[in-house]
Amino acid sequence: MSIVLRKVNHFYGEQQALKNVSIEVSENQIVALLGPSGCGKTTLLRLIAGLERLQSGELYLQDKLVAAPKQAIHLAPEQRAIGMMFQDYALFPHMSVRRNIEYGLRKQQEVVKRRNWIEESLDNMGMQGLLERFPHTLSGGQQQRVALLRALAPEPSTLLLDEPFSALDEHLRQQVREETLDVLKKTNTPAVMVTHDPLEAMFIADKIVVMEKGEIVQNASPQEIYNNPKNAFVAALFGPSNRFEVEVEGHKVNTPLGAFAAADIEDKQVAEIIVRAKDIVVHQLENKDQIEATVISVHAMGNETHFRLQLSNMPERVIHARMRDHWQASAGTKVWLSVDGDAAFVFPKASL
């Protein structure tokens, strides 16, 4: 295993930032730590890097124990053979691109050995001829690429990335994501990436670790997390969704969007229901078997149309729907909604 964390708890004063966290990262695997701000993602990354001391539990890197408070073990960051890529790139402004990338190579023979790789990598990223330029003359995307190559130049055992694409505009972000993924796969470098963007995590990661309030909620492949979320929090991560709380009756829940099975939840227990906006079909033609609604607003978003809707059977409730079809609908238009019976995610309501 590239990384093994066991039973890690971490506090800032009386505030617990991590609660009994255990994860494993296999060789050549890319893992995304996904969750909202303050959930413990960056704290976990800093513990792996050695920038903060482990307070409890154990940390193994390449099967070597590098941090264990009970045994008074704490290997310094520079001894962990880890590359780190920061959100703000952290390039040295007084150094050229070449010197920035070569900074982590301590010996001249290491520089000579890696020089061809550096030049080839820059060429593959369309950055030929920039070796002697300084960071302030580069675009944000170019600076990000330089930061990536600097982190990888010493051939680290693992790469840690903290929100690496957040400062880039959407078009450039997608391009740089693809380049980063290509470089990591070509160099067989395992990586742990912090992100709050579910779609980014799905694109780049082999495994996603979803975190909430310092705890791991779900740890699985992107497909498993998307198709079989463990709770309402995970189910609602992937785009607009509609949430209901309903008491179970006869192993069913009756919502304003229809009835859904709740086979594994006891009667009289309150259930949380998530219906993703993409699973609601909006119809223009009246159908008495469907749910009547009125358009509040409609927005064309690229190849999709996003609706905000008011239900006739629950006027105080706003419903979000998202469709790939393009059609002109103005505020006040009557529409009819249908939802597949298998589209809803139904969970026992989480206890506080």
Looking at 192, 227, 262, the residue that finishes a domain is: 227
Residues 32 and 106 in one domain: yes
Q: What CATH number is associated with residue 72?
A: 3.40.50.300
How many structural domains is the chain composed of? 2
Helix (H) / strand (E) element for 97: namely: helix 97-102
CA atoms within 13 A on the CB side of 82: 26
Please indicate, yes or no, if residue 232 is contained in any of the structural domains. Answer: no
Please indicate, yes or no, if residue 234 is contained in any of the structural domains. Answer: no
Name the maximum alpha-carbon separation found in the chain. 78
Please indicate, yes or no, if residue 303 is contained in any of the structural domains. Answer: yes
Please indicate, yes or no, if residue 233 is contained in any of the structural domains. Answer: no
Residues 191 and 243 in one domain: no
Residues 20 and 71 in one domain: yes
Residues 260 and 217 in one domain: no
pTM: 0.91
- pLDDT of amino acid 351: 62
Return d(Cα 36, Cα 212) in angstroms, integer: 7
- pLDDT of amino acid 109: 67
* Amino acid at position 86, single letter: F
Q: What CATH number is associated with residue 310?
A: 2.40.50.140
Return d(Cα 191, Cα 127) in angstroms, integer: 24
Nearest one of 339, 323, 141, 128 to 239, comparing CA atoms:
323
Residues 94 and 143 in one domain: yes
Bridge partner list, 147 = none
- pLDDT of amino acid 263: 87
Residues 222 and 243 in one domain: no
Residues 245 and 190 in one domain: no
Structural domain span for residue 301: 239-348
Residues 219 and 269 in one domain: no
Looking at 227, 251, 269, the residue that finishes a domain is: 227
- pLDDT of amino acid 273: 97
Residues 145 and 206 in one domain: yes
Looking at 172, 197, 227, the residue that finishes a domain is: 227
**pLDDT string in tens for the chain (352-residue length):** 899 999 999 999 999 999 999 999 999 999 999 999 999 999 999 999 999 999 999 999 999 999 999 999 999 999 999 999 988 888 999 999 999 998 878 766 677 888 888 888 998 888 888 999 999 999 988 999 999 999 999 999 999 999 998 888 888 889 989 999 999 999 999 999 999 999 999 999 999 999 999 999 999 999 999 999 999 999 999 999 999 999 999 999 999 999 999 988 999 999 999 999 999 999 999 988 899 999 999 998 888 899 999 999 888 999 999 988 777 788 999 999 999 888 999 999 976 5
